[in-house]
């Protein structure tokens, strides 16, 4: 079947990220064990709970202070936590907008409320919008739906709410474990690797599947 739907991850796919900048920011504040507390692939429980919206920002900061043994202020924690968030190239945003004319496009992101607030301010300043969902048919954030990738249930939520067939759906993510779940559910998948260009990857995939290539 032809691909009719495209589901995007957010971080490192739409918005550029550098996790190391958050580590550096926390280390400057005296946190010496940040890598053991948090990496892209391994979370302490409170990181997972915060991503799923199951604890508040205040509780998250409290857990972080306990884990680090430092009495960091709210503003310092938020500033360090948001340091990883970089930019969305205008060419990428235009490309995503263009896909809407031919495909049902969705966003499926593991993210938290502190990051969403920061990104909202960035989007307002750079693009005049308050939420990236304005560029998609619908956006799904882990902190708002109470679950996160790679849990099959969050994929099924997107599919069922929008009556999507997996064989007509392309999923793009930079995490192999998330790709594995989507593949298991029967979707087309693209694993975006470091320094790969998302527009090129999508065009190549759609071309190989004899779909319309957008520029």
Q: What pLDDT was estimated at residue 52?
A: 96
Q: Which domains does the chain have, with CATH numbers?
A: 5-16+88-208 (3.40.50.1000), 19-82 (1.10.150)
Q: What pLDDT was estimated at residue 42?
A: 61
Tokens of 136: 């998609």
Block residue for tokens 């300043």: 125
Contacts of 190 by beta carbon, 8 Å cutoff, 6+ apart: 170, 171, 172, 173, 179, 201, 202, 205
Q: CA 27 to CA 78: how far, in whole Å?
A: 14
Block residue for tokens 């409170």: 46
Q: What pLDDT was estimated at residue 40?
A: 56
pLDDT in tens, the chain (215 residues): 689 999 999 999 999 999 999 999 999 999 987 888 776 556 678 989 999 999 999 999 999 999 889 999 999 999 999 999 999 999 999 999 999 999 999 999 999 999 999 999 999 999 999 999 999 999 999 999 999 999 999 999 999 999 999 999 999 999 999 999 999 999 999 999 988 899 999 999 988 876 444 54
Instruction: With CA atoms as reference, report the closest residue to 106 among 14, 212, 26, 25.
Output: 14
Q: CA 183 to CA 131: how far, in whole Å?
A: 28
């Amino acid at each position: 079947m032809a691909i009719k739907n495209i589901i995007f991850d957010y971080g490192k796919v739409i918005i550029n990220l550098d996790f190391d900048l958050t580590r550096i920011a926390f280390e400057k504040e005296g946190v010496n064990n940040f890598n053991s507390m948090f990496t892209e692939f391994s979370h302490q429980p409170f990181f997972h709970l915060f991503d799923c919206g199951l604890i508040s920002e205040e509780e998250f900061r409290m857990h972080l202070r306990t884990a680090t043994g430092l009495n960091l202020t709210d503003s310092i924690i938020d500033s360090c936590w948001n340091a990883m968030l970089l930019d969305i190239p205008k060419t990428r945003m235009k490309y995503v907008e263009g896909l809407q004319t031919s495909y049902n496009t969705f966003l499926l992101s593991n993210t938290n409320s502190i990051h969403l607030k920061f990104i909202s301010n960035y989007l307002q300043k750079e693009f005049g919008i308050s939420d990236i969902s304005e560029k998609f048919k619908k956006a799904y954030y882990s902190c708002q739906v109470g679950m996160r990738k790679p849990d099959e249930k969050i994929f099924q939520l997107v599919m069922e709410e929008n009556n999507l067939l997996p064989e007509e759906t392309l999923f793009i993510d930079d995490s192999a474990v998330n790709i594995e779940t989507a593949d298991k559910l029967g979707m087309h998948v693209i694993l975006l690797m470091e320094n790969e260009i998302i527009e090129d990857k999508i065009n190549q995939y759609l071309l190989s599947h004899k779909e319309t290539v957008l520029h």
